[in-house]
Amino acid sequence: MCLIAFAIDCHPLYRLVLAANRDEYRRRPTVPAGFWTDAPHVLAGRDHQAGGTWIGVTTAGKFAAVTNYRDARQQVADPPSRGLLVADYLRDPCMTTSELRQHLLQNADRYDGFNLLYGTVTDIHYFTNRGGSSGAVQPGIHGLSNHLLDTDWPKSVVARERLTQILRQPEPSAAELIKAMADQTSYEDSMLPETGIGLDRERFLSPIFINGDTYGTRSTTVILARHNGTIEFIEQGYDTPHSPVQQFSIRINP
């Protein structure tokens, strides 16, 4: 997952409105969103290579999502998959946010750089192992890419602005959110971050939607969590020209 725009308590109908793009190598085997056979309460896509996931929810309303923190100058030798942080938290119905935070404090250095959103659709927390402040995420409109939460990278700023516009509507639609996350516009060199990967690569990774032959945006996920306890989970895949939209509805069962 490489770009998440989300709003907490910014619409009269919704506690959480979220749109997220997963950017990944196209050769990495992936299972589309669905309920897991080995953990039927988990709704998420799945990285078939390492067994983790990039974003998901549960029938009890738990939520988690991860993005990489991009810094080629700070790498860990043979790290575990960051997607397992999301998968393990969602799989364990008894793990609390406090218990996960304690695990992260003790083990985060084992992983390459990451940002983790976790908790429930009504109580989201943030953790990074790259020096940023962690804790409960406050109400408002937020953006998370491959740096710290609410870092003003161009695509994060634009994604937040588009989410803000959509939230002015009486009923935000998943189709509009997916369209907002499909922008392939690149940005001027002077606006790009410097993360140790070279200018050409920074340019390639700068759009909201990355369209490369071997690496790019492979899916968009939308989560709409209403105040009445229902969650709409929508995934638009892009691995094939006519990838179907996966759409699920959950009534939270605590």
Assess whether pLDDT exceeds 90 at residue 73. no
- DSSP string covering 12-33, please? TTEEEEEEEEEEEETTS-EEEE
Query: What's the confidence (pLDDT) of residue 212?
Result: 96
Distance in angstroms (rounded) separating the CA atoms of residues 115 and 126 = 7
Assess whether pLDDT exceeds 80 at residue 254. no
Residue 169 — pLDDT band, cuts 50, 70, 90? Answer: very high
The DSSP call for residue 211 is B
Average pLDDT over residues 172-201: 96
- Which three-class secondary structure state does DSSP give residue 174? helix
Assess whether pLDDT exceeds 90 at residue 1. no
The DSSP call for residue 243 is P
Angle (CA) 211 66 18, round 5°: 75
**Does pTM top 0.75 for this prediction?**
yes
Residue 241 — pLDDT band, cuts 50, 70, 90? Answer: confident
Cα dist from 51 to 33, 123, 164, 227, whole Å: 13, 26, 34, 32
> What is the side-by-side order of every strand in the sheet holding 135-136?
30-36, 39-47, 55-58, 62-68, 114-120, 123-128, 135-136
Cα end-to-end span (Å), the chain: 27
Average pLDDT, the chain: 96
Query: What's the confidence (pLDDT) of residue 249?
Result: 97
Residue 253 — pLDDT band, cuts 50, 70, 90? Answer: confident
Least confident of 19-28, 127-136, 194-203: 127-136
Assess whether pLDDT exceeds 80 at residue 132. no
CATH numeric code, 3-251 = 3.60.60.10
Q: Is 42 left (phi over 0), alpha (psi -120 to 50) or beta?
A: beta
Query: What's the confidence (pLDDT) of residue 237?
Result: 97
Cross-strand pairs, 17: 7, 224
Residue boundaries of the structural domains of the chain = 3-251
